[in-house]
Amino acid sequence: MRIFVAIELEKEIKENLSAFIQEMDSGNRNIRWVKRQGMHLTLKFLGETSEEKIAEVKSVLEVAASEHPSFELILKGTGTFPPEARTPRIIWIGIEENAALRAIHTRIENDLHKIRFPKEQRKFHPHLSLGRVKGPGNLGPVIQTLGQNRKTGFGRMIVGKITLFQSILKPTGAEYAILSEHNLQ
């Protein structure tokens, strides 16, 4: 099974983000927008994992979550990867700097490394991917809208749990199934 650890977003935030996508989407076929059900904040992508290993992952997440308090997550700003590119690969919404989010991410990263999952080599840059750019055509209006919203707030929520998801790849895009939820303190 292809799995990852993430924070599920509240319905209101997903609605805000969906409205923002609609504002940017002018039928541009060069961008594959994230569907509402696929909106989440990924903490750790684990990839193909056996059933036995998934049981270990669930145990690690249960302990990590039980030792961390709930915290506020604030979605603010827009950007792209690579930054300032004329033809970006990813369009994203930012997450305001948050020590509690960094702490739970670091804990999960370290604890999963102990059960032989490799550590991510890139620095953790919390964001929500909104779209994946497939080609360079007609991105001007999207880039302009992103620029106008670099400091815009898109919602806030209290994070009370972390979720282990299965990612099911389909021709129409990935679909996600919840494998387990782990409550924070």
Which residues form the catalytic set? Answer: 40, 127
Query: What distance in Å separates the CA atoms of residue 156 and residue 163, rounded to the nearest whole number?
Result: 18
Which runs of consecutive H residues, i.e. helices, occur in the chain?
11-24, 51-66, 99-114, 140-148
Query: What distance in Å separates the CA atoms of residue 112 and residue 118, rounded to the nearest whole number?
Result: 8
- CB atoms closer than 10 angstroms to residue 168: 12
Q: Coil, helix or strand for 57?
A: helix
How many Cα atoms are found within 13 Å in the side-chain-facing hemisphere of 175?
5
159: left (phi over 0), alpha (psi -120 to 50) or beta: beta
Beta bridge partners of 42: 6
